[in-house]
A = this chain, B = another copy of it.
Amino acid sequence: MSHRSLAAQGLVVGYERGARVLDGASLTVPAGRRLAVLGANGSGKTTLLRCLSGALRPTAGAVTVDGTQLEHSRRGLRAHRQTVQLVLQDPDDQLFSASVAQDVSFGPLNLGLDEAEVRARVAEALDLLAVDHLGDRPTHQLSYGERKRVAIAGAVAMRPCVLLLDEPTAGLDPSAVTETLAALARLQDHDSTVVMSTHDVDLALRWADEVAVVVDRTVVQGRPDDVLDDRPLLGRARLDRPWALAVGARLRALGLLPVDAIPRDAAGLLAALPESPAVRR
């Protein structure tokens, strides 16, 4: 397992019902950097991730790993699946075994690893996601947030170089979001490049090194503070401008923030602001 660079060039995906979902979408996932894929529901985020994972074969365009093109043959897909893993949004459709440990062992067992190695992989994955205490619990007794993390563990046990997560924080409460982000940071340290899709622009600004906005069937990629400050783009993408960029811009204009300070969240903003000149209550 090591960080790898995953990319897509000129993806075209057309559904049978007529309209194209993606039409010339290109994207680069730089090895070892956090990429957030942003888009409204129905924009094609999930379709893009499914193409990257090999689950969906685009009508045109190519997916490459470190420059080598993905072949949609049995053999090509098998190799790709050991490099790239996708975790879909709804954990219920990814947990299909009775117990947590059993579910996480599904992938490693299919890789033909021996029992000791499978156990080690399961333990490692549960540990990375901080769900090791759930190992022998039945999957249907878990909370939504726990199920989401166990579903991620199932993919992590395959030791992917790139992990694609579709809306990993959707439906989670703030503390579960914090735990999930901590787990993703551990995965990153453990040499998996992490890509997440989300429609939460504030989260993307706070978390990502780079963002890719899926808009008008294509992708606009760049730095979070550039792309997420591009109001016409956000309007077309039906996304909001992160509050921190809006408020930060005004405070810089007021001279309260240094001209080069671009706070990404409340903590960053408060830290960058001067301490109160007024008397505290």
A-to-B contact residues, CB < 8 Å:
39-42, 143-145, 167, 170-176, 199, 201, 238-240, 243-244, 246-247, 250-251, 253-256, 265-266, 269-270, 273-274, 276-278, 280
Report yes or no: A253 in contact with B265, Cβ–Cβ below 8 A: no
Whether the pair A199, B174 counts as a contact (CB closer than 8 A) is yes
Cα A248 to Cα B207 with chains together (Å) = 23
Are B273 and A250 in contact (CB-based, < 8 A)?
Answer: yes
Task: Describe A's contact surface by its main secondary structure.
Answer: loop
Copies in the complex: 2
Complex contacts, A145 vs chain B, CB 8 Å:
41
Q: Would you give the shortest CB distance from A152 to chain B, in whole angstroms?
A: 17
Report yes or no: B277 in contact with A255, Cβ–Cβ below 8 A: yes
A240 to B199, CA, bound (A): 19
Query: Are B255 and A40 neighbours in the complex by a CB distance under 8 Å?
Result: no
Judge whether B171 and A171 touch: CB under 8 Å.
yes
- Given A173-B199, A254-B273, 16 more A-B residue pairs with CB atoms under 8 Å apart are A41-B143, A41-B144, A41-B145, A41-B172, A170-B171, A173-B239, A174-B199, A174-B238, A174-B240, A243-B266, A246-B270, A250-B273, A250-B276, A254-B256, A254-B278, A255-B277
